[in-house]
Amino acid sequence: MRIGVLGAGGKVGSSVCRVILEDPEYELVAAVDPKLAGIDLGQMLGRQAAGLIARRDVEALIAERPEVVIDFTEARGSYRNLLKLAEAGVPAVVGTTGYTQEELDHLAQAFAGVGCVIASNFSIGAILLMRCAALCAPYFESVEIVETHHDQKVDAPSGTSLETAKWIAEARQGAGEGGFLGDRTSNLKVEGVRGGVVDDEIRIHSLRLRGAVAHHEVVFGAAGQTLTIRHDSHDRASFVPGVLLAVDRVRGLDGLVIGIDGLLGGD
């Protein structure tokens, strides 16, 4: 399968490029990173020359006729690139977060008839954390989410934590339960110390630490007990199996799909 990568010099993009170069089932035909344009991909990845020069823009990538494009860039540039891919009829697998709802609606229209997967987290373990959290949600009275990422991450909270909160709220509502118990804290000595509030009184706390990668913890509480579910990505290689799963499936999809949960199967 002919693959193109946008954001090839980034932390996740470079990990994806390494795997594609080593897997005989895939052929990396174009890698785009404006900051590294003109550099051999092998040099960019700290290995021997690959004979593939990093390109500057998505138009150069489309010219190489990729069958699927993987995008790990930033939201503003990604949105424009995706519209061009949709117009060219090229399926896309996207790990960029931060789109507005209006942009997602527009992308859904643009990719009508063309497969596109946008996921906040491609780690299969993180998806299983969401499933477990949804399973537990109806049985507890309170919940808080703690997410920790590297200190270069620009958005907070993480897309994964927001998605986890959504799953928890929907599971609770689906079971006929009301919202979680409200917070009774009345004396906030530091503004924001109790985190941000999303659906049904679910609080999210965002940590940004050098040395971290991606870590999510859901803590449920009920009378006399707590239950903690945690997932840790210690290396960005943990995202690659989910990316390749989406790559293998996206050409068979019709339109925009959010998240990879539906690609995993199971109940």
Kindly list the catalytic residues.
149, 153
Residue 198, φ and ψ in degrees, nearest 5 = -120, -150
Residue 13, φ and ψ in degrees, nearest 5 = -55, -40
The residues that bridge with 145 in the sheet, in sequence order, are: 204, 218
Sign of CA dihedral 30, 36, 42, 47: negative
Checking DSSP bridges between strand 2-6 and strand 68-71, what pairing results, if any? parallel
Residues in the chain: 267
Amino acid sitting at position 182: G
Q: Residue 64 has what DSSP assignment?
A: T
Residue 165, φ and ψ in degrees, nearest 5 = -60, -40
User: Do residues 24 and 50 lie in contact, with contact meaning Cβ atoms separated by under 8 Å?
Assistant: no
